[in-house]
């Protein structure tokens, strides 16, 4: 008889059909709205021919250890070995590097999307393990909203407005007259939630708001950033110019006498200096609608209509995460806050600003926060931390000092990379540069489920279980459910959970008591859930005990009595809810940033054209925007039948000017490398702009990636010297017919 337990993944909750110990099918949990195509591919992922079933060691490293030439990574044979052999070698190598070169020579790499489960969260596991050893080189920030995190901490005192806080849709529906979405509201992004979700609500909420009379304005180069079923005004600016539009709208509100000076005086700091920058008193350029229309290359009439819309009524302004992944991306978020402050509706139901409504499913889903547990970290006393997007710089220039968050960071000399969870040969920029630098460390150890580009370029590969081969607790603070995730099937081959691997290594290195605390998987799950129960009780919520959570599989978390309004408490009482900024207010001009004296970071929101040779529109080039994939997440599921031949989206007239037909195979190139893709023509795209989906497994060699990963093209420079975040959305490419020998390029 088939069993149908409920579990969770980043695409949502699902029912698993199990027959004879085999995972045969997966369907969305009834009523969840989870995407059936991704959910349905989960068994295919588990049983993929790409699964790693035994530990493997690169031939050169097996023969010569850390003295082996790193240039052989990705080219040499991977030799299967026994677990005990692999663990002994890994432990000995960690000990050697630590004793000979210190803790900072150990780099613990990870990324946070490996599992919706909170205990078997690879990044938490590897950081705890190396913390138990006394220290390591860690990463801070992320590729999703790294620039936003830093600038919001300066302007609002915390990054909660992008990390988890957002005005709930219950506060928007019926209250918001105009919803302005810079960067769009693309429905494909609503299929995913970090940590999973029991309810995919976004499309329903958008339609409900439209029915209640909310007018939507979508500002994006792509028409498909407008959700189906609603009417919206579409403005298609040149990429990277949203900040100019926001500043011009703020200046227009000044001209029309629409500025809420009472709000600015009570809730912001530096408003006068910011407003003065708009009238041109500083640089001699008034930030008019005509000025912005010229920069963004849009009809000024479109901006005037937008100004008319936001001049009256309740206005919600939002920006997608993608907008801050560009040169000077911090300015986009700061300018959005400044425009919202000028309108004076921050902290009111249906008004103000928010981030990520077009980037993730659960944003604005009213939920009680803090009830999903997480694995506690240990210290990093003997280690160091680098900005996450400066990983390749670290390999290239050890000892170099870089500015970061107003201070300086010295890039360490790393001898050993230990990666668990994530695929740097997917999410990093300038992958051919990374491939060259990847040869430099003495040893690279990777925990992986599948033979992706990173696993194939390792020295030692340890096979990791999927989320369906272990027990866990999953969920996100943005959702109204917590899931007990039962083990569905036995681990395939010899795969082991990261916790098992790190426990065995900790035992060999004398760190087991600190790392495991004497607990196995079940013991940790009970301990973690006890912290959630304690938190629930502090909120007056009766949470199930661990055995009850196991039995019922899903706990429906009570919803807050009042829908969240971002900065609502601050609006109500700015003294009691003082912000953790130097002024205690929203900083429209920051004296602290001014004190950093950074050439690329003025003390207030400002329009700054992209530099590094990527900001212009050289003849024959297109601005390339990389987008989240429609059918999978990052590079996950890329080994299933959902994978499609990589496409590049281009306006029909641009394709005709290049004498390229719809469906043609093309070569897309930049100053860094090239990749192949299939051309898809559309009229729903701004001319001069191209788009490619991220996700294909990198298969690059000799400067060409036939796999079609756009990060083979993107430059690896920072948004600014304040945040050092990724600027992948600032990229110019050329498009030409693919040659007869274009299909070559090496293995994944």
**Is 333 a catalytic site residue?**
no
Q: Are strands 315-319 and 622-627 parallel, antiparallel or unpaired?
A: unpaired
Query: What is the H or E stretch that residue 409 is in?
Result: strand 407-410
CA angle in degrees (0–180, nearest 5) for 689-690-692: 150
| Residues belonging to the chain | 748
Rg (CA), the chain: 25
Across the strands, what pairs with 474? 117, 483
**What does each C-alpha distance from 578 to 260, 271, 364, 475, 604 come to in angstroms?**
20, 17, 23, 30, 21
Three-state SS at 676: strand
**Pick the catalytic residue: 113, 438, 484, 697?**
113
Nearest-CA neighbor of 426 among 164, 721, 639? 639
DSSP state, residue 209: H
Instruction: List the structure tokens of 617.
Output: 């529109």
**Pick the catalytic residue: 11, 29, 61, 111?**
111
Compute the distance between CA of residue 586 and CA of residue 566 in angstroms, rounded to an integer: 13
Nearest-CA neighbor of 8 among 381, 482, 450? 482
Compute the distance between CA of residue 58 and CA of residue 460 in angstroms, rounded to an integer: 6
CA angle in degrees (0–180, nearest 5) for 465-471-474: 100
* Concatenated DSSP letters of 530-571: HHHHHHHHHTT-----HHHHHHHSEEEPPPPSS---TTHHHH
Q: Could you tell me if 112 and 194 are in contact, meaning their C-beta atoms sit under 8 angstroms apart?
A: yes
Phi and psi, residue 77, nearest 5°: -60, 140
Strand order in the sheet with 12-19: 6-9, 12-19, 22-28
Nearest-CA neighbor of 423 among 453, 399, 389? 453
N-terminal to C-terminal alpha carbon distance within the chain: 39
Q: Are strands 78-80 and 215-219 parallel, antiparallel or unpaired?
A: unpaired
Nearest-CA neighbor of 734 among 591, 612, 622? 622
Around 307, how many Cα atoms within 13 Å sit in the side-chain half-sphere?
25
Query: What is the H or E stretch that residue 565 is in?
Result: none
Cβ neighbours, 10 Å, residue 584: 16
**Is 113 a catalytic site residue?**
yes
Compute the distance between CA of residue 604 and CA of residue 443 in angstroms, rounded to an integer: 45
**What does each C-alpha distance from 433 to 190, 427, 622 come to in angstroms?**
32, 13, 22
Instruction: List the structure tokens of 434.
Output: 């990374």
Around 396, how many Cα atoms within 13 Å sit in the side-chain half-sphere?
10
Q: Are strands 407-410 and 6-9 parallel, antiparallel or unpaired?
A: unpaired
Q: Could you tell me if 478 and 77 are in contact, meaning their C-beta atoms sit under 8 angstroms apart?
A: no
Residues known to be catalytic = 111, 113
């Amino acid at each position: 008889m088939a069993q149908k337990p409920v579990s969770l993944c980043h695409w949502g909750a699902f029912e698993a059909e199990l027959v004879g110990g085999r995972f045969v099918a997966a369907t969305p949990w009834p009523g969840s709205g989870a995407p059936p195509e991704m959910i349905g591919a989960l068994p295919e992922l588990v049983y993929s021919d790409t699964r790693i079933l035994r530990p493997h060691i690169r031939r050169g490293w097996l023969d010569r250890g850390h003295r082996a030439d790193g240039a052989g990574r990705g080219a040499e044979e991977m030799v299967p070995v026994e677990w005990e052999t692999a663990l002994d070698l890994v432990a000995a190598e960690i000990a050697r590097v630590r004793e000979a070169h210190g803790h900072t020579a150990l780099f613990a790499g990870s990324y946070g999307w490996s599992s919706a489960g909170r205990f078997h969260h690879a990044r938490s596991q590897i950081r705890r393990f190396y913390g138990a050893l006394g220290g390591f080189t860690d990463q801070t920030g992320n590729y999703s909203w790294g620039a936003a995190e830093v600038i919001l901490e300066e302007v609002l005192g915390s990054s909660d407005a992008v990390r988890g806080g957002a005005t709930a849709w219950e506060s928007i529906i019926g209250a918001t007259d105009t919803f302005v979405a810079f960067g769009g509201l693309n429905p494909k992004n609503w299929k995913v939630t970090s940590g999973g979700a029991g309810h995919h609500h976004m499309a329903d909420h958008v339609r409900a708001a439209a029915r209640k009379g909310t007018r939507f304005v979508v500002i994006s180069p792509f028409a498909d950033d407008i959700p189906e079923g609603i009417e919206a005004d579409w403005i298609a600016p040149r990429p990277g110019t949203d900040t100019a539009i926001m500043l011009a709208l703020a200046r227009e509100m000044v001209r029309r006498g629409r500025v809420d000076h009472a709000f600015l005086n009570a809730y912001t700091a530096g408003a006068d200096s910011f407003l003065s920058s708009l009238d041109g008193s500083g640089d001699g350029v008034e930030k008019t609608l005509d000025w912005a229309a010229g920069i963004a290359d849009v009809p000024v009439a479109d901006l005037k209509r937008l100004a008319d819309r936001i001049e009256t009524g309740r206005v919600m302004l939002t920006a997608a995460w993608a907008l801050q992944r560009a040169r000077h991306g911090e300015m986009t978020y700061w300018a959005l806050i400044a425009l919202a402050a000028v309108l004076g509706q921050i902290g009111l139901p249906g008004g103000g600003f928010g981030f990520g409504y077009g980037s993730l499913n659960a944003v604005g889903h009213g939920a009680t926060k803090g009830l999903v547990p997480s694995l506690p970290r240990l210290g990093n006393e003997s280690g160091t931390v680098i900005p996450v997007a400066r990983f390749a710089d670290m390999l290239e220039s050890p000892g170099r000092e870089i500015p970061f968050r107003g201070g300086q960071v010295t890039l360490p000399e790393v001898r050993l990379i230990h990666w668990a969870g994530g695929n740097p040969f997917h999410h990093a920029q300038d992958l051919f540069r990374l491939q060259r630098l990847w040869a430099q460390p003495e040893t690279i150890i990777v925990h992986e489920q599948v033979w992706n580009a990173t696993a194939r370029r390792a020295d030692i590969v340890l096979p990791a279980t999927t989320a369906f081969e272990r027990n866990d607790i999953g969920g996100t603070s943005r959702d109204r459910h917590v899931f007990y995730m039962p083990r569905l099937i036995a681990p395939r081959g010899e795969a082991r959970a990261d916790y098992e691997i790190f426990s065995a290594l900790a035992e060999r290195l004398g760190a087991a008591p600190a790392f495991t605390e004497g607990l196995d998987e079940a013991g940790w799950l009970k301990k973690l859930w006890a912290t959630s129960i304690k938190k629930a009780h502090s909120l007056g919520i009766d949470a199930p005990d661990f055995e009850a959570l196991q039995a019922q599989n899903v706990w429906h978390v009570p919803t807050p009595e009042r829908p969240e309004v971002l900065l609502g408490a601050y609006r109500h009482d700015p003294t009691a809810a003082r912000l953790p900024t130097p002024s205690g207010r929203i900083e429209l001009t920051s004296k602290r940033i001014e004190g950093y004296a950074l050439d690329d970071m003025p003390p207030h929101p400002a329009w700054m054209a992209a530099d590094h040779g990527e900001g212009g529109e050289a003849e024959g080039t297109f601005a390339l925007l990389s987008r989240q994939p429609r059918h999978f997440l990052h590079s996950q599921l890329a080994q299933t039948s959902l994978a499609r031949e990589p496409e590049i989206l281009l306006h029909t007239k641009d394709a005709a000017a290049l004498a390229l037909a719809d469906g043609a195979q093309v070569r897309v190139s930049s100053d860094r490398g090239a990749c192949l893709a299939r051309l898809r023509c559309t009229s729903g795209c701004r001319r001069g702009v191209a788009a490619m989906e991220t996700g294909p497994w990198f298969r690059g060699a000799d400067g060409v990636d036939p796999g079609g990963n756009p990060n083979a093209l993107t430059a690896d420079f920072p948004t600014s010297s304040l945040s050092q975040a990724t600027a992948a959305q600032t990229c110019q490419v050329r498009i030409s017919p693919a040659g007869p020998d274009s299909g070559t390029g090496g293995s994944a």
